[in-house]
Amino acid sequence: LLSPKGEVAPTIFAEMSALAVRTGAINLGQGFPDEDGPGEVLSAARDAIAAGANQYPPGRGAPELRAAISAHQRRFYGLDVDPDTEVLVTAGATEALSATLLALIDGPDDEVVVFEPYYDSYAAAVALAGARLRTVPLRAPGFQPDLDELAAAVTDRTRIILVNDPHNPTGAVFSPQLQTEIVRLAHAHDAVIVTDEVYEHLAFDAGHVPIATLPGAAERTLTISSAGKTFSVTGWKVGWVHGPAALITAVLTVKQYLTYSGGAPFQPAIAVGLGLPDAFFTGIRDDLRARQALLSAALSSAGFAVHAPQGGYFTVADATTLGGTDAAAFCRALPERAGVVAIPISAFVSPGSQDAYAGLVRFAACKRTEVIEEAARRLASLH
């Protein structure tokens, strides 16, 4: 996690957002919305502050939020989750991931299987937990793993199979066949499935299917999500994890010494959000799908080869045709060249896999339409 000089390197998101501020470029790098979320949720937080929800909430999370998470899982997926023993509220999905890995890893021989490219905190959290990372590649086009490669990666050393669906950065949505195979392998090798579903309401066509709903999965699955993406409040850092009571107790044991608790007035506000009518949830999905289409069209006409996403905030584009065989160098130059910031996929892969992803760039579509349109005008100058 440290540079060769022993320095803490900034994450790629911090580095690229700073570059956007410094150059005045449009930030299609870090994935955060540039508009506020639903008014009901924002005013519920203000009301909660006025009503005095300003001291430590319970370590497991505010009871009304845990009840709302349980009701949400039943309403959208038919999952039965006990709010008292099977839900833990965390400081974003990031803390849920780190606390889960720290809780479940026993020692340096434990392996965590992840799909590569992967969200940057995964490798860092696996390293902090002292485990080994085992990667399974997601290749263009489609970014679905090869099932034989997956089966070869999962062994009796596998403690956790870490899933992210819909997937950051590729925009892939995992197929039912892949999900079934993950559950089969977890059973065969007595592994726990940890599934990061922060983009659960942003699967464009297939509809989101939590892996915990598959037969035999719930008993060994920890499902993680976050309010950040669904309600456009990434800075509130309210996330959660649910699963079997014994596993949740293990995660709570670690979480209580990481942050103990947090986000007191935001927790009841997110409970309000989770209870919004269906039209809100289909609305955010349709809205983002339209922005993704706008971004894809802009990238295509600028000369990129676009990998249209099936869900989530991001579009992956191949910059090779624009001279971007080294996407990291391409992205460092892009603010000066075109006034746009994007992130190379190399930031989401381990050192040994860089070559396979060398020309790929990630663009965020979770921005206002006029911002994407302005980015389109700027990118048109590339060729």
* Residues in touch with ligand GLN (CB under 6 A): 11, 13, 30-31, 168
The CA-based angle 325-331-333, given to 5 degrees, is 100
Q: CB of 333: closest distance to ligand GLN in angstroms?
A: 20
Which does residue 13 bind out of ligand PMP, ligand GLN, none, counting CB within 5 to 8 angstroms by kind?
ligand GLN
Q: Rounded distance, CA 253 to CA 377, Å?
A: 51
Q: Is 119 in the site for ligand PMP (CB under 6 A)?
A: yes
Judged by beta carbon, residue 13 or residue 77, the one nearer ligand GLN is 13
DSSP secondary structure string for all residues of 215-247 = TTTGGGEEEEEEHHHHTT-GGG-EEEEE--HHH
Question: What is the smallest separation between the CB atom of 226 and ligand PMP, expressed in angstroms?
Answer: 3
* Interatomic CA distance for residues 315 and 309, integer angstroms: 6
**94 belongs to the binding site for ligand PMP (CB under 6 A):** yes
How near is the Cβ of 238 to ligand PMP at its closest, in Å? 7
Q: How far apart are the C-alpha atoms of 123 and 144, rounded to whole Å?
A: 20
Q: 156 phi and psi, to 5 degrees? A: -70, -10
Cα–Cα distances in angstroms (integers) from residue 368 to residues 22, 28, 67, 266, 291, in the given order:
21, 11, 33, 24, 8
Mark out the alpha helices in 86-203 (DSSP H runs). 92-104, 120-129, 147-153, 176-188
Comparing CB distances to ligand GLN, the nearer of 228 and 268 is 228
Question: Which residue's Cβ lies closest to ligand PMP?
Answer: 92
Instruction: Determine which residue in the list 53, 93, 248, 349 makes contact with ligand PMP, applying CB under 6 A.
Output: 93
Count residues near ligand PMP (CB under 6 A). 14
Structure tokens at 16: 């690229």
- In this chain, which of 70, 73, 100, 168 binds ligand PMP, going by CB under 6 A? 168
Site for ligand PMP in 233-252 (CB under 6 A): 234, 237, 239
Q: Which does 30 bind (CB under 5 to 8 A by kind): ligand PMP, ligand GLN, none?
A: ligand GLN
Which amino acid does the sequence have at 376?
A: A
Nearer to ligand GLN, 30 or 296 (CB): 30
Q: Are strands 158-164 and 111-116 parallel, antiparallel or unpaired?
A: parallel
Q: Which of 223, 226, 315, 346 binds ligand PMP (CB under 6 A)?
A: 226
Residue 137 CB, shortest distance to ligand GLN, in Å, is 19
> CB under 8 Å, gap of 24 or more: what pairs does 123-129 form?
123/350, 124/1, 125/97, 125/98, 125/101, 126/101, 127/1, 128/1, 128/98, 128/101, 128/102, 129/98, 129/101, 129/102, 129/105
Neighbours of 78 (CB within 10 A): 9
> Residue 232 interacts with ligand PMP (CB under 6 A)?
no
Token couple for 100: 């889960």
Tell me which of 37, 57, 61, 92 binds ligand PMP, using CB under 6 A. 92
Q: Are 366 and 33 in contact (CB under 8 A)?
A: yes
Residue 261's binding partner out of ligand GLN, ligand PMP, none, with CB under 5 to 8 Å set by partner kind: none
292 binds ligand PMP (CB under 6 A): no
Q: Report the distance separating Cα 341 and Cα 369, nearest Å.
A: 16
State the nearest-atom distance from the C-beta of 124 to ligand GLN, in Å. 10
Decide if residue 310 touches ligand PMP (CB under 6 A): no
- Residue 79 or 124: which CB sits closer to ligand GLN? 124
Closest CB 200 distance from ligand PMP, rounded Å: 11
Q: Which is nearer to ligand PMP, 159 or 362 (CB)?
A: 362
Question: Can you give the binding site for ligand PMP, defined by CB under 6 A?
Answer: 31, 92-94, 119, 164, 168, 196, 198, 226, 228, 234, 237, 239
